[in-house]
């Protein structure tokens, strides 16, 4: 399987002490959701499309389960358009790290708008961008990040 990794990595140990994390209620989570929330790595792979996204971010799993809109809420074209805009801004910040925290923007994201990555990859990438912007008080485009 050809692995193109959309690496969205933030070092939680370095950043976690300096940023506010959103408060999430765990009261309504199932045992399965709580177990998944303990894992800080989200990996979505599609053997048919031969693409993979890996997100290593403490707290993203639980945020995705408790705060994100359900799958199907957004159309795939909406997610692709927003992801492309966010990726362009992200990659500019990686290349021009002088004005931005280099601990936040470490690796570029290889995202080609001409490729159909599928709904799940676009959904999780979009939600990571929303999580990232809300958690680290960043703005990756003209849109105010909100759930």
For residue range 73-121, list pLDDT tens digits in order: 999 999 999 999 999 999 999 998 788 888 899 889 999 999 998 898 9
Residue 47 within any structural domain of the chain: yes
Residue 57 pLDDT grade (very low, low, confident, very high; cuts 50, 70, 90): confident
- Is 16 contained in some domain? yes
Domain span at 95:
5-135
Of the candidate ranges 48-57, 74-83, 116-125, 134-143, the one whose mean pLDDT is the lowest:
48-57
pLDDT at 29: 54
Domain assignment present for 147: no
Per-residue pLDDT at 8: 41
- Domain membership flag for residue 104: yes
Is 50 part of a structural domain of the chain? yes
pLDDT in tens, 10-43: 333 223 333 344 444 445 556 655 555 556 666 6
- In the chain, how many domains are there? 1
Is residue 145 assigned to a domain? Answer: no
Would the pLDDT of 61 be above 70? Answer: yes
CA angle 11, 115, 66 (to 5 degrees): 45
Strand order across the beta sheet in which 51-56 lies: 5-9, 51-56, 41-46
Q: Are 137 and 19 in contact (CB under 8 A)?
A: yes
Say what the pLDDT of residue 78 is: 96
- Predicted pLDDT at 3: 43
Q: Is 29 within the bounds of a domain?
A: yes
Q: Is residue 26 part of a domain?
A: yes
């Amino acid at each position: 399987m050809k692995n193109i990794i959309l690496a969205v990595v933030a070092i939680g140990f370095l950043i976690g002490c300096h940023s506010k994390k959103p408060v999430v209620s765990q009261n309504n989570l199932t045992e399965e959701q709580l177990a998944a929330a303990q894992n800080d790595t989200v990996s979505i792979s599609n053997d048919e499309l031969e693409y993979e996204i890996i997100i290593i971010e403490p707290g993203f799993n639980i945020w995705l389960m408790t705060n994100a809109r359900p799958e199907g809420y957004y159309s795939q074209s909406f997610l692709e358009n927003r992801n492309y805009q966010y990726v362009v801004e992200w990659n500019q910040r990686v290349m021009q790290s002088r004005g931005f925290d280099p601990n936040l923007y470490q690796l570029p994201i290889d995202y080609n708008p001409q490729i159909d990555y599928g709904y799940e990859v676009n959904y999780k990438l979009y939600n990571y961008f929303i999580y990232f912007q809300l958690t680290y008080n960043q703005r990756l485009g003209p849109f105010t990040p909100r759930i």
